Homo-oligomer: A and B are copies of this chain.
Amino acid sequence: MKIILLLVGKNDTSWLRSAVETYEERLGHYADYKRVELPELKSVSGMSQQQIKDKEGEAILKNVKVSDTLVLLDERGTLRTSEEFARYIEKHSVSGTRNIIFVIGGAYGFSEKVYQRADDMISLSRMTFPHQMVRLVFLEQLYRAHTIIKGEPYHHK
């Protein structure tokens, strides 16, 4: 199973870039993983928040094939423990999911069309995190999930 992390916007601070790369490198030892970054339209002049969401939504959906499983990171998504998230990844992996795409949206969130296409939504916390920090926290959870699946000590150290 291929795991694709689809991001709207770049990692624009250097500490975040380092941190994300650290966990991506670790994750790469366990999973067929790819990051795809789409441009954030935040600073384009003359567009309303709704227009930005719609445009970003179109760009997201262009990267999703019919057979892909699309999972949004969203405040309204399901809250799981790290163990439950590991079982979720494992279940997809053994049940024949070819590509699972996790999407972290831009500052204004997802368009209706993205919500309609989505197969599932997950949430990291009841708290609101900056969408850039969501990347870091989620990547660490992806890495952690794979160590849990393999029964490795990272999670319990």
Which A residues have a C-beta under 8 Å from some C-beta of B?
Answer: 13-16, 18-19, 22, 79-82, 85, 107, 124-130, 133, 136-137, 140-141, 144, 155, 157
Contact = CB atoms under 8 A, between A and B. Distances in A.
Contact of A15 (B22, B79, B80, B125): B22
Nearest to A125: B125
B128 A81 contact: yes
A129 B138 CA distance: 10
Contacts of A125: 79, 124-127
B127 A81 contact: yes
Contact of A133 (B80, B81, B85, B137): B137
A126 B80 contact: yes
A127 B80 contact: yes
A126 B128 CA distance: 14
Contacts of A144: 128
